[in-house]
Protein backbone atom coordinates (compact mmCIF):
# COMPACT_ATOMS: atom_id res chain seq x y z
CA UNK A 1 0.00 0.00 0.00
CA UNK A 2 1.48 3.33 -1.04
CA UNK A 3 1.40 6.45 1.09
CA UNK A 4 -1.07 9.15 0.09
CA UNK A 5 0.60 12.04 -1.70
CA UNK A 6 0.48 15.32 0.26
CA UNK A 7 -0.20 18.43 -1.79
CA UNK A 8 0.86 21.81 -0.46
CA UNK A 9 -0.31 25.37 -1.14
CA UNK A 10 1.82 26.83 -3.92
CA UNK A 11 2.38 29.97 -1.87
CA UNK A 12 5.11 28.06 -0.05
CA UNK A 13 5.98 28.01 3.64
CA UNK A 14 7.05 31.67 3.79
CA UNK A 15 3.97 33.12 2.07
CA UNK A 16 1.12 30.73 2.91
CA UNK A 17 -1.48 32.30 5.23
CA UNK A 18 -2.40 28.92 6.72
CA UNK A 19 1.13 27.55 7.02
CA UNK A 20 1.96 25.08 9.76
CA UNK A 21 5.29 24.09 11.36
CA UNK A 22 5.52 21.41 8.66
CA UNK A 23 5.24 23.87 5.77
CA UNK A 24 2.56 25.42 3.60
CA UNK A 25 -1.04 24.34 4.16
CA UNK A 26 -2.09 20.95 2.82
CA UNK A 27 -4.45 21.14 -0.17
CA UNK A 28 -6.75 18.50 -1.62
CA UNK A 29 -5.50 19.14 -5.17
CA UNK A 30 -1.97 19.69 -6.52
CA UNK A 31 -0.70 23.03 -7.85
CA UNK A 32 -3.29 25.21 -6.16
CA UNK A 33 -3.72 27.65 -3.27
CA UNK A 34 -5.22 27.07 0.16
CA UNK A 35 -8.48 28.85 1.17
CA UNK A 36 -6.57 31.27 3.42
CA UNK A 37 -4.37 32.46 0.56
CA UNK A 38 -7.35 32.67 -1.80
CA UNK A 39 -9.14 34.94 0.68
CA UNK A 40 -6.02 37.04 1.24
CA UNK A 41 -5.38 37.56 -2.48
CA UNK A 42 -9.04 38.41 -3.11
CA UNK A 43 -8.76 41.21 -0.55
CA UNK A 44 -5.44 42.33 -2.04
CA UNK A 45 -6.97 42.52 -5.53
CA UNK A 46 -9.62 44.88 -4.17
CA UNK A 47 -6.89 47.01 -2.59
CA UNK A 48 -4.81 47.49 -5.73
CA UNK A 49 -6.68 50.48 -7.26
CA UNK A 50 -6.49 52.31 -3.92
CA UNK A 51 -2.77 51.60 -3.61
CA UNK A 52 -2.23 52.85 -7.17
CA UNK A 53 -4.02 56.09 -6.29
CA UNK A 54 -1.92 56.48 -3.14
CA UNK A 55 1.30 55.88 -5.06
CA UNK A 56 0.56 58.83 -7.33
CA UNK A 57 1.34 61.08 -4.37
CA UNK A 58 4.96 59.93 -4.67
CA UNK A 59 5.28 61.14 -8.25
CA UNK A 60 6.77 64.53 -8.99
CA UNK A 61 4.91 66.02 -11.93
CA UNK A 62 1.87 64.75 -13.76
CA UNK A 63 1.32 61.19 -14.90
CA UNK A 64 1.40 62.39 -18.50
CA UNK A 65 4.81 63.96 -17.97
CA UNK A 66 6.13 60.81 -16.30
CA UNK A 67 4.86 58.55 -19.07
CA UNK A 68 6.25 60.73 -21.85
CA UNK A 69 9.65 60.91 -20.19
CA UNK A 70 9.77 57.12 -19.72
CA UNK A 71 8.78 56.30 -23.30
CA UNK A 72 11.06 58.85 -24.89
CA UNK A 73 13.94 57.98 -22.51
CA UNK A 74 14.72 61.64 -21.99
CA UNK A 75 17.73 62.02 -19.65
CA UNK A 76 16.16 64.98 -17.83
CA UNK A 77 12.37 64.87 -17.30
CA UNK A 78 10.59 68.21 -17.38
CA UNK A 79 9.47 67.65 -13.77
CA UNK A 80 10.96 65.54 -10.93
CA UNK A 81 9.56 62.01 -10.84
CA UNK A 82 10.19 58.59 -9.38
CA UNK A 83 10.49 56.02 -12.15
CA UNK A 84 10.28 53.16 -9.65
CA UNK A 85 6.89 54.39 -8.44
CA UNK A 86 5.62 54.86 -11.97
CA UNK A 87 6.71 51.33 -12.90
CA UNK A 88 4.95 49.98 -9.81
CA UNK A 89 1.71 51.73 -10.80
CA UNK A 90 2.14 50.16 -14.23
CA UNK A 91 2.71 46.73 -12.61
CA UNK A 92 -0.52 47.13 -10.64
CA UNK A 93 -2.44 47.67 -13.87
CA UNK A 94 -0.79 44.62 -15.44
CA UNK A 95 -1.56 42.45 -12.40
CA UNK A 96 -5.25 43.42 -12.51
CA UNK A 97 -5.48 42.82 -16.26
CA UNK A 98 -3.73 39.44 -16.09
CA UNK A 99 -5.99 38.34 -13.25
CA UNK A 100 -9.04 39.11 -15.40
CA UNK A 101 -10.15 42.45 -13.96
CA UNK A 102 -11.47 43.67 -10.64
CA UNK A 103 -14.56 41.45 -10.76
CA UNK A 104 -12.67 38.17 -10.99
CA UNK A 105 -13.03 35.55 -8.27
CA UNK A 106 -9.64 34.24 -7.19
CA UNK A 107 -11.05 30.77 -6.48
CA UNK A 108 -12.03 30.61 -10.16
CA UNK A 109 -8.82 32.21 -11.43
CA UNK A 110 -6.57 29.57 -9.85
CA UNK A 111 -8.26 26.88 -11.95
CA UNK A 112 -7.30 28.50 -15.26
CA UNK A 113 -4.61 26.84 -17.41
CA UNK A 114 -1.44 28.51 -18.62
CA UNK A 115 -1.73 31.43 -21.06
CA UNK A 116 1.14 33.22 -22.78
CA UNK A 117 1.82 36.75 -21.56
CA UNK A 118 4.47 39.32 -22.31
CA UNK A 119 6.56 40.03 -19.23
CA UNK A 120 9.68 42.05 -18.51
CA UNK A 121 12.84 40.18 -17.57
CA UNK A 122 15.99 42.17 -16.82
CA UNK A 123 14.58 45.14 -18.68
CA UNK A 124 13.69 43.17 -21.81
CA UNK A 125 10.27 41.94 -23.03
CA UNK A 126 9.79 38.17 -23.00
CA UNK A 127 7.01 35.63 -23.48
CA UNK A 128 6.04 33.45 -20.52
CA UNK A 129 3.29 30.95 -19.78
CA UNK A 130 1.35 31.93 -16.66
CA UNK A 131 -1.42 29.79 -15.20
CA UNK A 132 -4.13 31.07 -12.88
CA UNK A 133 -2.11 30.46 -9.72
CA UNK A 134 0.86 32.38 -11.16
CA UNK A 135 -1.39 35.33 -11.94
CA UNK A 136 -3.05 35.21 -8.51
CA UNK A 137 0.29 35.16 -6.71
CA UNK A 138 1.44 38.09 -8.86
CA UNK A 139 -1.43 40.10 -7.36
CA UNK A 140 0.05 39.40 -3.92
CA UNK A 141 3.60 40.23 -5.07
CA UNK A 142 2.61 43.60 -6.54
CA UNK A 143 0.36 44.40 -3.57
CA UNK A 144 3.18 43.85 -1.10
CA UNK A 145 5.55 46.04 -3.09
CA UNK A 146 2.96 48.81 -3.17
CA UNK A 147 1.95 48.60 0.49
CA UNK A 148 5.62 48.58 1.44
CA UNK A 149 6.08 51.89 -0.36
CA UNK A 150 2.82 53.48 0.76
CA UNK A 151 3.20 52.24 4.34
CA UNK A 152 -0.06 50.28 4.61
CA UNK A 153 -0.24 46.67 5.77
CA UNK A 154 -3.14 44.40 6.54
CA UNK A 155 -2.67 42.11 9.54
CA UNK A 156 -4.06 38.57 9.73
CA UNK A 157 -5.32 37.82 13.22
CA UNK A 158 -5.64 34.18 14.23
CA UNK A 159 -8.61 33.36 16.49
CA UNK A 160 -8.18 31.23 19.62
CA UNK A 161 -11.49 29.39 19.56
CA UNK A 162 -11.92 26.53 17.08
CA UNK A 163 -14.21 26.79 14.09
CA UNK A 164 -17.86 26.03 15.05
CA UNK A 165 -18.29 24.08 11.80
CA UNK A 166 -15.20 21.83 11.67
CA UNK A 167 -13.90 22.22 15.26
CA UNK A 168 -10.34 22.96 14.09
CA UNK A 169 -8.16 25.92 15.26
CA UNK A 170 -8.27 27.48 11.81
CA UNK A 171 -10.21 30.72 12.33
CA UNK A 172 -8.80 34.15 11.57
CA UNK A 173 -9.70 37.58 10.22
CA UNK A 174 -8.08 40.60 8.63
CA UNK A 175 -7.55 43.42 11.12
CA UNK A 176 -10.42 45.88 10.91
CA UNK A 177 -12.72 43.59 8.91
CA UNK A 178 -16.01 42.18 10.14
CA UNK A 179 -15.73 38.62 8.79
CA UNK A 180 -13.98 35.69 10.48
CA UNK A 181 -12.82 33.00 8.04
CA UNK A 182 -12.00 29.31 8.44
CA UNK A 183 -8.87 28.38 6.50
CA UNK A 184 -9.61 24.65 6.52
CA UNK A 185 -10.17 23.79 2.85
CA UNK A 186 -12.73 21.11 3.72
CA UNK A 187 -14.80 23.66 5.66
CA UNK A 188 -14.13 27.16 4.29
CA UNK A 189 -16.81 28.55 6.61
CA UNK A 190 -17.21 32.14 7.68
CA UNK A 191 -19.10 34.13 10.30
CA UNK A 192 -19.42 37.74 11.36
CA UNK A 193 -17.50 39.14 14.32
CA UNK A 194 -20.75 39.23 16.33
CA UNK A 195 -21.47 35.60 15.48
CA UNK A 196 -17.93 34.66 16.49
CA UNK A 197 -18.28 36.49 19.82
CA UNK A 198 -21.56 34.69 20.54
CA UNK A 199 -19.92 31.39 19.61
CA UNK A 200 -17.04 32.04 22.05
CA UNK A 201 -19.48 32.92 24.86
CA UNK A 202 -21.62 29.85 24.14
CA UNK A 203 -18.57 27.57 24.07
CA UNK A 204 -17.23 29.03 27.31
CA UNK A 205 -20.56 28.48 29.11
CA UNK A 206 -20.71 24.94 27.76
CA UNK A 207 -17.23 24.13 29.05
CA UNK A 208 -17.97 25.62 32.49
CA UNK A 209 -21.11 23.51 32.75
CA UNK A 210 -19.18 20.26 32.34
- pLDDT at res. 59: 67
CA–CA separation, 27 and 6 (whole Å): 8
Walking along the chain (210 residues) 10 residues at a time, the average pLDDT comes out as: 72 89 89 94 92 76 40 42 80 95 95 88 81 96 88 70 86 78 79 89 74
Residue 50 has what pLDDT?
86
Predicted pLDDT at 62: 40
Contact by Cβ (8 Å): 99, 45: yes
Element (H, E) at 76: none
| The total number of residues written for the chain in this structure | 210
Nearest CA-CA partner of 120 in 90, 80, 83, 150? 90
**35-79 confidence digits (pLDDT tens):** 999 999 999 999 998 888 888 776 654 433 334 334 444 444 433
pLDDT of residue 159: 82
Within 10 angstroms of residue 175's Cβ, the number of other Cβ atoms is 9
In this prediction the pTM is 0.64
Amino acid sequence: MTDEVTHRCRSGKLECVSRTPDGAAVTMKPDTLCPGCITQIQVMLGDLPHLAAALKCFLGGSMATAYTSKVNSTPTPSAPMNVTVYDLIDDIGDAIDRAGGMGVRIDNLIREPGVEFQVWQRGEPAKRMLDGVDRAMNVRKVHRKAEGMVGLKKIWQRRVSPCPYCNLPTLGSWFGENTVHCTNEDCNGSLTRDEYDLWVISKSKSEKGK
